[in-house]
């Protein structure tokens, strides 16, 4: 792997790991729309895909005709695919720094305040007056839980209202401090430092590679 490719692949991932460290170090859980969470992951992996399959994807005819603009077109195509993937996903709310049990307790309070007819069935919740059905899903590792829609909500406004009220409830919820965020912080800062060392060690090679991609 060339120094330029190493930096391109490492820096987005490092920033993503530092963002995860910040989310897990907060005293309260943090909720984010599932589509935005997926797009953040796609941004983090963009550099890896660029130096991997992305570097050999553009056909020679396109590179000859469009030159450096071919990379812009590849980026637009990538994010169009990401946007299409997010639009096909079920509605989802990702909650960082919370277990399934902690999320269920907060969700139960929100559900009763929004819908008197809210009913639980195991890990599933039905809010008929909001037109929302969902279930709680937890990550195998880490303090991350998700609310996943069982189907397309009958009322998009109902789902948005649930997300807004849940975010307000979580802001009032204290989450026990754990040291898991240190692992993400170590990964992020380690990757950034490694990228900085490579950049200053091979400045000329990185500059030449950058000029090459701009002049293809």
DSSP conformation letters of 51-106: HTGGGT-S-HHHHHHHTTHHHHHHHHHHHHHHHHHHHHSPPEEEEES--HHHHHHH
Q: How far apart are CA 132 and CA 149, in angstroms?
A: 7
The model's pTM? 0.81
pLDDT in tens, the chain (216 residues): 788 888 888 999 999 999 999 988 888 899 999 888 998 998 898 888 777 655 545 555 555 555 566 677 777 877 888 888 887 788 889 999 888 888 898 999 998 888 888 898 888 999 888 888 899 988 756 688 899 988 766 667 888 888 999 999 998 888 776 777 888 999 999 999 999 999 898 888 888 877 776 665
Neighbours of 170 (CB within 10 A): 23
Neighbours of 25 (CB within 10 A): 16
What's the order of all strands across the beta sheet hosting 119-121? 30-33, 92-96, 144-149, 132-138, 124-127, 119-121
Residues 6+ apart with CB under 8 A from 187: 14, 17
Torsion of CA 192, 198, 202, 203, to 10 degrees: 10
Residues 6+ apart with CB under 8 A from 53: none
Q: Write down the domain spans for the chain.
A: 1-89+177-216, 90-174
Q: How far apart are CA 46 and CA 96, in angstroms?
A: 23
The predicted pLDDT at position 197 comes to 93
The predicted pLDDT at position 66 comes to 59
90-174 is classed CATH 3.30.310.80 = yes
């Amino acid at each position: 792997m060339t120094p330029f490719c190493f930096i391109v692949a490492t820096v987005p991932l490092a920033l993503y790991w530092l963002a995860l460290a910040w989310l897990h170090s907060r005293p309260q859980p943090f909720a984010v729309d599932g589509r935005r969470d997926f797009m953040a992951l796609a941004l983090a992996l963009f550099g890896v895909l660029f130096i991997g399959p992305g570097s050999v994807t553009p056909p020679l005819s396109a590179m000859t005709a469009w030159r450096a603009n071919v990379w812009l077109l590849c980026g637009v195509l990538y994010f169009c695919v990401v946007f299409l993937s997010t639009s096909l996903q079920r509605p989802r709310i990702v909650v960082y720094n919370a277990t399934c049990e902690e999320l269920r307790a907060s969700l139960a309070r929100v559900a009763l305040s929004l819908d008197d007819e809210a009913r639980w069935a195991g890990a599933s919740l039905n809010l008929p007056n909001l037109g929302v059905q969902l279930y709680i899903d937890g990550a195998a590792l880490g303090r991350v839980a998700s609310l996943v829609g069982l189907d397309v909500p009958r009322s998009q406004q109902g789902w948005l209202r649930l997300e807004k009220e849940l975010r307000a409830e979580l802001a009032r919820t204290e989450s026990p401090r754990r040291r898991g965020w240190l692992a993400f912080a170590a990964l992020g800062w380690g990757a950034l430092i490694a990228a900085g060392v490579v950049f200053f060690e091979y400045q000329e090679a990185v500059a030449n590679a950058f000029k090459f991609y701009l002049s293809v």
